[in-house]
Structure 1
Amino acid sequence: MIQPISLGATLYVPADRTDLLQIATGGKYPHLRSVIFCLEDAVSEASVPTALENLRLLVTQLAVMDEAAQTRPIILVRPRHAAMLRVITSMAGADQIAGFVLPKITAETLDEYMDALQSDEHCIMPTIETREAFDSEAMKALRSKLLPIKDRVTLVRIGGNDLLRTIGGRRSKNRTIYDGPMSSVIANLVTTFVPYGFSLSAAVCDNFVDLDLLQEEVELDIDHGIFTKSAIHPNQIELIHNVYKVSTEELISARAILDSKAPAVFSINGAMMEPATHTDWAKNIITRSEIFGTLSVSAKILSSA
């Protein structure tokens, strides 16, 4: 099972490109932790045969390059529909694919995709990007369908641009996705799925030039408990990973909370620490520090209470 936070910035790559092998083996983007080779919206109908052949060639090549597996990003594939998923899973070398990003998933469409999977070795990442996202009962119905197969669900992806399309909108170039109608939708998805053990992946930021805006948005993702993000441009990868680093102060707090000898309530730098309620946060901080590293900020335990 893939640890969701380990995905980091997941780069979307149209599968009709000619450099899939360089990307999949880590040569083109060395800091890339995960990649989605997309055969859905990112590929025109006319280019689908080329994309499928590219993918077939890629997994065949990867199958004889296992010695390089440790340096590869996690490889995911987004099929166009369930019938295409069936074709992909039957390819020789399909075991080189870690999992599948399932597009436009609802409680009604999920079964068709699950039936198309040829084995249980692949994880799935259902994507919420249809008008059902605005219907809390529809999202609860999807959650109910996912719960029995939760061990296969690495995370649930949020398709921000498709959701905006359903209301005739698009991302603002100068504002985060939280500065508009998607803010309440994302908050509702968090409260619908996360308390039941599902992780979420944050929507892409369309502006890949304004890195200050991207940083602000990733910080807001974290405030919503979302710790992996779709990326549409390699410029975004390193910044997203940098924002996922934890401060020394956070790390000190986390270790103190997880200390078996910690008091029930204590303070660090004027903030209350309570192991009974902050343990999950602390474990997440430790994991982020192990994967992405730490920033240099000092902190000290001031008092206990």
Structure 2
Amino acid sequence: MSITGSISPMSLGATLYIPCMRGDLFGYVLGPRRPAGLRSVVLCLEDSVREEDLPMAMSHLSVFLRQLLARDAAPADPLIFIRPRSAVMLEHILCMPGIEHVDGFVVPKAHADTLPAYLALPLHDRHRLMPTLETREVCDPQEMRRFRDQLLAVQDRILALRVGGNDLLQAMGLRRNPHRTAYDGPLGSVIAQLVAGFAPWGFALTAPVLERYADTALLREEVMRDIEHGLMSKTAIHPSQIPIIQNALAAEADEVEEARLVLAESSPAVFGRDGVMCEPATHRRWAERLLERAAQFGIADALVLRA
């Protein structure tokens, strides 16, 4: 499989979901209404659109794609993904003029029995997929192993796996406590299980949305927990969440220095730093990811100095 271009999952940052019911999609994504710092966006035709409103939403998407076709891409443009309702809908979307200029698609309700229909479609070489893990199959380790084996055969096509927190809780008949992070309830163990089941095989995972978007302190706390689990991108449902998420993803200066020492050719096999053991053979991957994070989102102390 030949995939054109290279996108780092970490470059997604805070991925803003925008329902296709909005009339001026171009204005929100690439025009005057575009939120500051927007790195990636998902134009949603699934749960955020009522069934009876689908014709209007599809019309809005078609207009957006034609506007996209009529302009030249710019380096600062956000990554653009579309979330269809089904493989049948995506087959129709793939026929729309301008579709070759989007970066890919979010696959809803993804598991081993639903993904083959999407993979069979005539995707453009540049199109990357982000399957969303949000059905009851996620809670079955055997099903997730079956899904992982399927994904390994098309790994170049998979940019990241998105964790659909609200849908997973819905499958359990629950809703998260509005005053606690996703990791303080049953969702926490599910996320940890998914990280253990996919990250060692080279798959990136993204963190679920915090629906209480006005609680900035809770959002910062949850991003810290996301980072502990290796989730370096997070779904956003409100523009105000974007700078909070991306500032929280900035690397600490002390960690950056430690990562550089771990990767230095002159470093010994094992050394101590501020009372902490560092072992390049086992800490190398962490160090590489930490420095990529610093390159993408900056160094926290430096951000404070510039504020």
TM-score of the superposed pair, with normalisation by structure 1: 0.95
CA contact (8 A) 2:271 2:279 kept: yes
Alignment of 1:239-250 (within 5 A): 239-250=244-255
CA contact (8 A) 1:85 1:117 kept: no
SS at match of 1:154: coil
RMSD of the TM alignment (CA)? Answer: 1.2
1:61 aligns with 2:30: no
CA contact (8 A) 1:26 1:32 kept: no
The corresponding residue for 1:133 is 138
> C-alpha distance in 1, partners of 2:225/2:31?
29
1:85 aligns with 2:73: no
1:113 counterpart (118, 130, 134): 118
- Read off the aligned partner of 2:69 and give its amino acid letter: A
1:34 counterpart (40, 43, 62): 40
For residue 23 of structure 1, report the CA deviation from its aligned partner: 2.2
CA contact (8 A) 2:100 2:124 kept: no
Deviation readout 1:169-208 (Å, 9 max, x if unpaired): 1122111111111111111100000000000011100111
- Read off the aligned partner of 2:53 and give its amino acid letter: S
For residue 94 of structure 1, report the CA deviation from its aligned partner: 0.4
SS at match of 1:230: strand
Deviation readout 1:39-96 (Å, 9 max, x if unpaired): 0001111111111111111111111211x52221100000000011011111111012
The corresponding residue for 1:104 is 109
The corresponding residue for 1:231 is 236
> C-alpha distance in 2, partners of 1:93/1:295?
39
Alignment of 1:1-305 (within 5 A): 1-25=6-30, 27=32, 28-66=34-72, 68-296=73-301
Worse overlay, 117-126 or 44-53? 117-126
SS at match of 1:276: helix
CA contact (8 A) 2:224 2:248 kept: yes
> C-alpha distance in 2, partners of 1:26/1:231?
19
Percent of aligned pairs with the same amino acid: 46
CA contact (8 A) 1:12 1:38 kept: yes
> C-alpha distance in 2, partners of 1:208/1:118?
34
CA contact (8 A) 2:249 2:297 kept: yes
CA contact (8 A) 2:207 2:234 kept: yes
The corresponding residue for 1:301 is none
- CA gap of 1:181–1:108, structure 2 versus 1, over 3 A, is same
- Read off the aligned partner of 2:115 and give its amino acid letter: L
CA contact (8 A) 2:24 2:60 kept: no
- CA gap of 1:240–1:78, structure 2 versus 1, over 3 A, is same
For residue 26 of structure 1, report the CA deviation from its aligned partner: 5.7
> C-alpha distance in 2, partners of 1:153/1:118?
12
CA contact (8 A) 1:26 1:72 kept: no
SS at match of 1:83: helix
> C-alpha distance in 2, partners of 1:26/1:184?
40
SS at match of 1:76: strand
Deviation readout 1:241-262 (Å, 9 max, x if unpaired): 0111011101111111111111
Q: How many residues align?
A: 296
CA contact (8 A) 1:90 1:118 kept: no
Worse overlay, 114-123 or 152-161? 114-123
SS at match of 2:183: coil
> C-alpha distance in 2, partners of 1:157/1:253?
30
- Read off the aligned partner of 1:152 and give its amino acid letter: R
